[in-house]
Structure 1
Amino acid sequence: MKNFTSLLIASILGGILTLGSYKLFIGPDSQPQFIQEESSSQDFIPANYSSRIYGTNADFTEAAENTVNGVVHVKNVAVYQGPRSIWDLYRGNEGGRALQGAGSGVIISPDGYIVTNNHVIKGASEVEVTLNNNQTYTAEIIGVAESTDIALLKIDAEDLDYIPFGDSNNVRLGEWVLAVGNPFNLKSTVTAGIISATARDLNTYDATPQSFIQTDAAINPGNSGGALVNIKGELVGINTAITSQTGSYIGYAFAVPSNITRKIVEDIMEYGDVQKGILGIRGGSITPTAAEEFGLDATQGVYVAEVTSGSGAEKAGIKEGDVIRQIDNITINKFSDLTGYINSKRPDDEVRVTVLRKGKKRNLNVRLTKNEIYRVDSIGLEVTNATQEELDAYNTPNGVKISRTLMSNLPSEELVGTIITAINNQKVNNIEDVERIMNNRKASESIVVSFIDRNGEKQRVVWR
């Protein structure tokens, strides 16, 4: 019994000494570290576990609450006079209002400026805006930019909830975003997704390059013109389109970047129209075929096929055969990267362009010039402002010059260089006149082009 008691006391003392040593060397705030023995052969899959915590459990409630009241419902209403059908005539209906279409809009200032899609309000006799609190206003169309599908509206109201602009150049692949809309019969709706791609060009054919933000947040008909916001509640895009064979959302949605939208809005408010700055080059994205054909080392970027005479690009020293890889701090991998950034700039803005020339980098400061070229895709022609000397040569006081044909079936030898004097019997003095006439015509209308050919004779061509 005595021996057992001695052994018990010794065991207790040993335990106390061991625990005391652990506390002494490890410390109260330390965590145990496990060391894995090195293996002589690497028979495992390498992995990198960083300490960064990703937002799989991100909380969207604050962003949603801060933005739903900044998104409105937009109605495109047609006001008509007289009966529209034999049934109206029979019933004695002499006129009225009819809903042409509807979508969403984003309040961008407390005094009632609203951004929506141009296709939502196109052809409207009257535009009605309904806020999230069910108040309804008649909106004035301040201006539109058809090429980017943006329209600016104004309602007579004050102290409205609005959504501040964010910087769309800073959006990252995989970043969480919310699509906020106000469709016809659902009031405010919020869906969540991630940024799937940036600078996405949806054009299949040779048309004006686009630059959309792609997201997998659900956007359905009625949400066009609504807000794409980050989790801070900042506007990073205006929801515009979906890719779907059924007309409903299947995972591919697109938004006009907020930097382009903001620039368009500021231009319309300050100048009355959109100020388009250009580099002054023609080219395209580098493909494996192009790289092989032109003997390029680069596999990404924009190949400069032509430099416009007198442009900022020419004056800065950009040459045919250069590969544009960066503008300011924006990496240029494809043509839509370039157009997306340039579309957020104005004439006389200066940008720093990084080009590859024979394998060497060059940094060139380019002052953007005013866009003097307009593509009339519906008739396959590109026109530019004519100089006074060119007008004198054709003995005409007004007109624009055909600079290029966009369709292979048009006789470019006969058309390029000739002067268009009128479209649909409306005189044209510059490309702004051409754009205005084309934007205001109905899609079903024929296009009548009056021009002076190389022999000085007046001609008329009708596109149906």
Structure 2
Amino acid sequence: MVLKRFMLAAALCSVVSFSQSESFAEVALEHKAPESVANLASGLLDAVVNISTSQTIKGTEQTDKTTPPKVEEGAPFQEYFNDFFSSKNDKNELNQSRKVQSLGSGFVIDAEKGLIVTNNHVIADADDIEVNFTDGSKLKAKLLGKDSKTDLALLQVDPKGKKLTAVSFGDSESARIGDWVMAIGNPFGLGGTVTVGIISARNRDISAGPYDDFIQTDAAINRGNSGGPLFDMNGKVIGINTAIISPSGGSIGIGFAIPSDMATGVLDQLKQFGETRRGSLAIRIQPVSQEVADSLKLPKAEGALVAGKIDDKTVDNAQLKDGDVITRFGTHAIKDARELPRIVAESPVGKIVDVTILRNGEEKTVKVKLGRLKEKELETETSDDDEHGGEDKKAEASDSIHAMGMTLSALSDELRKRFHIKPDINGVVVTAVTANSAADEKRIRTGEVIVDINQQAVKTPEDVAKQLELLRANGRKNALLMVAGEDGELRFVTLRLE
């Protein structure tokens, strides 16, 4: 009976395959695998280079040789121990310098000017950078600029009459999952290595930086491939190989490349300014979770939630308000909060952009003038000073309420001084948090201030009670709180109603 069921299932699969065979054949004919990439590779190999770097590290500490092990008199090999741990050797090795060398890949993008692209981590902290070409020639390179956020670097060599071969960038945005790609690089120091695979995935976030948007490929990429190009079948660079996932250190078919559409803007700025000049909205954002979407009555859990503004006089974002949900920036739809910083950063400083927002359930379009991103805007400070659990004995029992696992009090001068709350922060202060409560789970801390609930400002514990009662009356299960830390930084927290 089992065998008959298996045969029946196989027969059904065959019927489905037969009914769709014509359409599958058409697709296969249109996008068939390349029979060979030899002609393509031969025209590109000369543009791919090996990057060799060296760094001098000075010794500053004595090694373990200064404290010789205790060896009994007459013990076997005693004389060798004495020689090895002699004071003469200690003096020679103390503060000695040593050179560390590394290898990577790169590719020429401008033959006349000698411009070469590689990864920032390939040349980071290097004292000397040398470019090795396929014909065996070598040229010293200088660093024009680097960007650690996208892991890109731009080098320049003086061709000295040497004719270089350059490649050009393609459109990574139009590259699709399943498209054939070819990587050329310098794995383990073996220059001119060609591997072929497909695009396995797009828009990968591997927590390498704030603008992660990697192309994933199964083309073999190993150590030494970093900085090398990922080509499409037209010979255009659609990615810069930069990372792999590998427990063993070798390729397991999971490699990542920086998309060319992201790289070209960064490289243009490195060429022009020697640094990056990114656009900024001067706001803090949070993802729109399903809980937040439900609290704000949003149709979908998409967009980026404005959770506060950053003081920056170069930015005009007056039309944005805390609690707005950004759904479109210029022509780009914002489906995930992670997309917004990257798209804004790629925009020119000073540009005026139409930003589409959802506010109180209504869609609006406002204009924002971008400023220049400050590096500190990318940093998020977190405190390990967790005061969860227990009651604050100094909190006044009067003029306080207990809700959602928090004791909330009016923000008096005494409490403002005790918790170091800035003068421009207004709301209801959290004087205690019950362990394992809803507030505890969302890491609300004693001394933080509830500014509003479901976009309605609260100034007294009575305001909080009224808002919670209204939410329950409307059948809501969660409350959306805007919470301010002592430094004024805002964030949104969704708490379940008790």
Quickly say closer, same or farther: Cα 1:49–1:160, change in 2 above 3 A: same
User: TM-score, normalised to structure 2's length?
Assistant: 0.60
The alpha-carbon deviation at position 273 of structure 1 amounts to 1.5
Equivalent of residue 186 in structure 2, options 175, 182, 185 = 182
Equivalent of residue 265 in structure 2, options 253, 263, 287 = 263
Aligned residue in 2 for 1:222 = 224
Q: Distance in 1 between matches of 2:89 and 2:110?
A: 45
Confirm whether residue 73 of structure 1 aligns to residue 50 of structure 2: yes
Q: Distance in 2 between matches of 1:135 and 1:96?
A: 29
Q: How does 1:160-239 map to 2 (within 5 A)?
A: 160-203=164-207, 208-239=210-241
What SS does structure 2 have at the residue aligned with 1:247? Answer: coil
Q: Distance in 2 between matches of 1:238 and 1:293?
A: 42
What SS does structure 1 have at the residue aligned with 2:320? Answer: coil
The alpha-carbon deviation at position 239 of structure 1 amounts to 1.0
Q: Distance in 2 between matches of 1:319 and 1:212?
A: 32
Q: How far does the alpha carbon of each residue in 1:114-167 deviate from its partner, in whole angstroms, 9 at most, with x for none? A: 111111111211111101221111111222111221111111115311111223
Aligned residue in 2 for 1:279 = 281
Task: Report if aligned partners of 2:316, 2:370 keep a CA contact under 8 Å in 1.
Answer: no
Identical positions, percent: 32
Confirm whether residue 104 of structure 1 aligns to residue 90 of structure 2: no
Q: How far does the alpha carbon of each residue in 1:346-384 deviate from its partner, in whole angstroms, 9 at most, with x for none? A: 3123444343445554444433211134168xxxxx5xx
The alpha-carbon deviation at position 311 of structure 1 amounts to 7.1
Task: Report if aligned partners of 1:143, 1:153 keep a CA contact under 8 Å in 2.
Answer: yes
Q: Distance in 1 between matches of 2:314 and 2:226?
A: 36
Equivalent of residue 119 in structure 1, options 112, 121, 129 = 121
Task: Report if aligned partners of 2:57, 2:100 keep a CA contact under 8 Å in 1.
Answer: no
The alpha-carbon deviation at position 226 of structure 1 amounts to 0.7
What SS does structure 2 have at the residue aligned with 1:73? Answer: strand
Task: Report if aligned partners of 2:287, 2:303 keep a CA contact under 8 Å in 1.
Answer: yes
What SS does structure 1 have at the residue aligned with 2:178? Answer: coil
Q: How does 1:412-451 map to 2 (within 5 A)?
A: none
Quickly say closer, same or farther: Cα 1:211–1:281, change in 2 above 3 A: farther
The alpha-carbon deviation at position 253 of structure 1 amounts to 1.5
Give the partner amino acid of 1:56.
Answer: K
Give the partner amino acid of 1:103.
Answer: G
Q: Distance in 2 between matches of 1:323 and 1:55?
A: 41
The alpha-carbon deviation at position 79 of structure 1 amounts to 4.4
The alpha-carbon deviation at position 407 of structure 1 amounts to 3.7
Aligned residue in 1 for 2:382 = 406
Runs of 5+ unmatched residues, structure 1? 1-42, 377-381, 383-403, 418-453, 455-464
Quickly say closer, same or farther: Cα 1:317–1:291, change in 2 above 3 A: same
Give the partner amino acid of 1:232.
Answer: N
Q: How does 1:142-157 map to 2 (within 5 A)?
A: 142-157=144-159
Aligned residue in 1 for 2:23 = 49
What SS does structure 1 have at the residue aligned with 2:189? Answer: coil
Quickly say closer, same or farther: Cα 1:329–1:315, change in 2 above 3 A: closer
What SS does structure 1 have at the residue aligned with 2:110? Answer: coil
Aligned residue in 2 for 1:318 = 320
Q: How far does the alpha carbon of each residue in 1:71-100 deviate from its partner, in whole angstroms, 9 at most, with x for none? A: 11111113478999999979x999897342
Q: How far does the alpha carbon of each residue in 1:372-415 deviate from its partner, in whole angstroms, 9 at most, with x for none? A: 34168xxxxx5xxxxxxxxxxxxxxxxxxxxx63343499x779
Quickly say closer, same or farther: Cα 1:337–1:72, change in 2 above 3 A: same
Task: Report if aligned partners of 2:357, 2:363 keep a CA contact under 8 Å in 1.
Answer: yes
Task: Report if aligned partners of 2:314, 2:370 keep a CA contact under 8 Å in 1.
Answer: yes
Q: Distance in 2 between matches of 1:64 and 1:339?
A: 36
What SS does structure 2 have at the residue aligned with 1:374? Answer: helix
Give the partner amino acid of 2:23.
Answer: Y
Task: Report if aligned partners of 2:51, 2:104 keep a CA contact under 8 Å in 1.
Answer: yes
Q: Distance in 1 between matches of 2:293 and 2:167?
A: 44
Aligned residue in 2 for 1:138 = 140
Q: Distance in 1 between matches of 2:316 and 2:299?
A: 23
- 104-113 vs 52-61, which moves further: 52-61
Quickly say closer, same or farther: Cα 1:310–1:119, change in 2 above 3 A: closer
Quickly say closer, same or farther: Cα 1:333–1:187, change in 2 above 3 A: same
Q: Distance in 1 between matches of 2:293 and 2:352?
A: 29
- 138-147 vs 97-106, which moves further: 97-106
Give the partner amino acid of 1:193.
Answer: G
Confirm whether residue 336 of structure 1 aligns to residue 310 of structure 2: no
Task: Report if aligned partners of 1:117, 1:224 keep a CA contact under 8 Å in 2.
Answer: yes
Q: Distance in 2 between matches of 1:146 and 1:284?
A: 24
Quickly say closer, same or farther: Cα 1:118–1:147, change in 2 above 3 A: same
| Cα RMSD, aligned residues only | 3.8
Quickly say closer, same or farther: Cα 1:82–1:198, change in 2 above 3 A: closer
Task: Report if aligned partners of 1:211, 1:336 keep a CA contact under 8 Å in 2.
Answer: no
- 336-345 vs 130-139, which moves further: 336-345
The alpha-carbon deviation at position 221 of structure 1 amounts to 0.5
Quickly say closer, same or farther: Cα 1:353–1:248, change in 2 above 3 A: farther
Task: Report if aligned partners of 1:73, 1:131 keep a CA contact under 8 Å in 2.
Answer: yes
Q: Distance in 2 between matches of 1:62 and 1:281?
A: 50
Aligned residue in 1 for 2:41 = 64
Q: Distance in 2 between matches of 1:97 and 1:265?
A: 33
- Give the count of matched residue pairs: 347
The alpha-carbon deviation at position 313 of structure 1 amounts to 7.6
Q: How does 1:292-311 map to 2 (within 5 A)?
A: 292-308=294-310
Give the partner amino acid of 1:73.
Answer: N
Quickly say closer, same or farther: Cα 1:367–1:221, change in 2 above 3 A: same
Q: Distance in 2 between matches of 1:287 and 1:161?
A: 49
Give the partner amino acid of 1:164.
Answer: S
Task: Report if aligned partners of 2:173, 2:261 keep a CA contact under 8 Å in 1.
Answer: yes
Q: Distance in 2 between matches of 1:240 and 1:353?
A: 33
